Chain A
């Protein structure tokens, strides 16, 4: 177990290293940040001064070496644009995105698993067919369009929910949270539903196909031959088997929810990290981009570690590779 964790940590460090290198070179290739930062009318001397201040006068490998040395001490650089530490900028925005992503994931799982189970148990019923047809819509409708339609319907026509912004928040553990503030959920609901729709469709389809497959297994027939109540057959024998693929996929999808909620955040003017990333890329604010991507890789690593642990807990046949196996 300890070996497993150590191995995972080492892997994560390698990935982080390669990632930082790629992003560094990548952003360098896009353009020179100085063009964005310095007034075009500035003198060559001014430009050189700014470049020297930001360390942009050095060759790329020296810049990278400095970044690496600082990063190992927990300093991911200072935003060219804002003049504040890049990590600080991101962490300030992170709760908004996390809150949105977790809400979306909860909606997807809490609705998706029961609906998928139902559709899987009654594949030929009207309800089952409707759920499956609906899940195809969830897959195929573009997120931005659904977002706009949600705003049109619930904000413009019905006037039930606000169309954008984060609304009231309450401080907890030094960060701002919408759900803790009275009425905060009203601002969260539409973007969360919008973000959840695709994942909801995914969870429904996974659960449905898993259920149908499980029902064909011999152990289901044996469970029925034992005279177990239907509640127990579905709730324990089926559910525990289908949770294995669902946990894997949902876990990894949680990463994409955090990393790529950009579209939803833009539509609903949600002040999360997706919006920050877009701005930083257009402004060539390299420290923020690098810090953002490193953080995302880190979060991904954590999630996949959690998925592996849950997976091992759910499926007794899986043993976490400690020593020999790769």
Chain B
């Protein structure tokens, strides 16, 4: 395998601070809002998190909770009428918010890459794979076509595409869904970015392919020291992949901590509800055939009509009059924060009774 040239130091987010204190990515109080006819709506509300080099962060939540919009906000692909209203996004200490469009363009696909959900739709159907890969290299590197092509070939091989040279000359429709997603991943990896944002990239694939791709992504990012933000609605996907988890609800991070903390000792009733809803939790409870899986009552509220105070309040068994006020962010355990008036006690380990569960013998 040929070594790939190190990233050009001229890019706006090139590492200048060498101190270990500065994380790869630091997001503080990020808010993305939409101007709608009925007034402004916050799709992402006061988001703060950090990501270290080579770390994998899982961003979990239901559809419409703002997790994809968080991804778009980090790479400045929020389309009008949406806009980033407040907050700061720093990559290796460099503030990205407010960068001119030209700098963003230089950053995207080079320092920050993004992969999307449906591999059938992310590649341009009328352009060959080599065209779509080479243009990504040439947009950021002053190299010849031959060199760009060699790099494309090398990256395709790294993501496990057999007969890569042949695949380069294919059109997207000639590849299977799994292959197309590998190509998309290869395109994201082409310029050895510092950060990859993966927006449910395996949701549209079948489970075996999903497992392969998860494993490969994890390996590739570890090797290259690339930070990875994996957006998903599926807790089982991130359980084996992520170092840390952020659980989102209605545009906010309601719980944040290491994967073990969040999955084993969830402090937020919503996280607990999500975990209880998985088949694995049902089995652990002694689930009987034909019995319905446990679910969180109600459904996620529309962003335009969020309840006052805690947005999860109407669906929460622990809610009381306190929850009419915006909940505080409290530390449930070292490194684990939760946005709740009544966090679950740390001792309540799975598969114990959930707060709203029926009495058990």
Residues on A lying within 8 angstroms of B by beta carbon are: 217-219, 221-230, 232, 236-237, 240-241, 244, 314-317
Query: Which A-chain residue is minimally distant from B126 (CB atoms)?
Result: A240
Residue B277 interfacial (CB < 8 Å): no
A314 → chain B closest CB, angstroms: 7
| Interface residue? B123 (CB, 8 A) | yes
A222 touches B173 (CB 8 A): no
B110 and A219 within 8 A (CB): no
Task: Give the docked Cα–Cα distance between A236 and B135 (Å).
Answer: 11
B77, B116, B135: most-surrounded residue (chain A CB, <10 A): B135
Smallest beta-carbon distance A125→chain B, Å: 13
A221–B122 Cα gap in the complex (Å)? Answer: 8
B105 within 8 A of A: yes
Chain A interface, DSSP helix/strand/loop, else mixed:
helix
Known: A222-B116, A226-B187. A241 touches B107 (CB 8 A): no
Per a CB cutoff under 8 Å, which of B121, B125, B127, B139 touches A229?
B139
> Distance in Å from the Cβ of B264 to the closest Cβ of chain A?
35
Tell me the minimal C-beta distance from B135 to chain A in angstroms: 6
> Which B residues are in CB contact (< 8 Å) with A230?
105
Which of A217, A225, A228, A314: most chain B Cβ within 10 A? A225
Contact B171 A317 (CB under 8 A): yes
The answer to whether A244 and B126 have CB atoms under 8 Å apart is yes
Beyond A316-B173, A317-B171, whether A228 also contacts B135 by CB under 8 A is: yes
Contact A224 B122 (CB under 8 A): no
Residue-wise, chain B 236-280 has the 8 Å CB interface mask toward A (1 for contact) of 000000000000000000000000000000000000000000000
Which residue, of B107, B123, B124, B127, has the highest number of chain A Cβ atoms within 10 A? B124
**Residue numbers in B under 8 Å from A315 (CB-CB):** 125-126
Interface residues of B in 147-192 (CB under 8 A from A): 171, 173, 184, 187
Residue of B whose beta carbon sits closest to that of A222 = B122
The answer to whether B123 touches A228 (Cβ under 8 A) is no
Residues of chain A within 8 A (CB-CB) of B22 are: none
Partner of B109, one of A219, A228, A237, A240: A228
* Residues on B with beta carbons closer than 8 Å to the beta carbon of A240: 124, 126-127
Alpha-carbon distance between A218 and B113 when the two chains are bound, in angstroms = 15
Q: What are the residues of chain B within 8 A of A222 when measuring CB–CB?
A: 114, 116, 122-124, 184, 187
Tell me how far the C-beta of A313 lies from the nearest C-beta in chain B, rounded to whole angstroms.
Answer: 10
Known contacts A217-B121, A227-B108, A240-B127; A316 and B139 CB within 8 A of each other: no
Residues of A within 8 A of B110 (CB): 227
Least distance between B352 CB and chain A CB atoms (Å): 42
The answer to whether A219 touches B136 (Cβ under 8 A) is: no
B26 in the interface (beta carbon within 8 A): no
Q: Return chain A residues, CB-CB under 8 Å to B124.
A: 219, 222-223, 237, 240-241
Inter-chain contact B116/A221, CB cutoff 8 Å: yes
Assuming the contacts A221-B116, A232-B135, asked whether A316 and B105 have C-beta atoms less than 8 A apart, the reply is no
What is the distance, in angstroms, from A233's C-beta to the closest C-beta of chain B?
Answer: 10
Verify A225–B126 contact, CB threshold 8 A. no
Whether the Cβ atoms of A224 and B127 lie closer than 8 Å is: no
How many Å lie between the Cα of A218 and that of B126 in the bound state?
A: 14
A59–chain B nearest beta-carbon distance, Å: 56
Instruction: Using known A-B contacts A232-B135, A316-B173, A317-B171, determine if residue A221 contacts B77 with beta carbons closer than 8 Å.
Output: yes
Tell me the bound Cα distance from A228 to B107 in angstroms. Answer: 10
For the complex formed, measure the closest distance between the CB of A156 and the CB atoms of chain B, giving whole angstroms. 48
Residues of B within 8 A of A317 (CB): 125, 171, 173
- Chain B nearest CB from A225 CB (Å) reads 4
Top 4 nearest A-B pairs (CB, nearest first) are: A227-B109, A218-B121, A227-B108, A226-B109
Does residue B339 face the partner (Cβ distance < 8 Å to A)? Answer: no
How far is A118 from B209 in the complex, measured between Cα atoms in Å? 42
Q: Distance (Å) between the CB of A326 and the closest chain B CB? A: 22
Given contacts A219-B122, A226-B108, 10 further A-B contacts (CB under 8 A): A218-B116, A221-B116, A223-B124, A225-B116, A227-B106, A227-B110, A227-B140, A240-B124, A240-B126, A241-B125
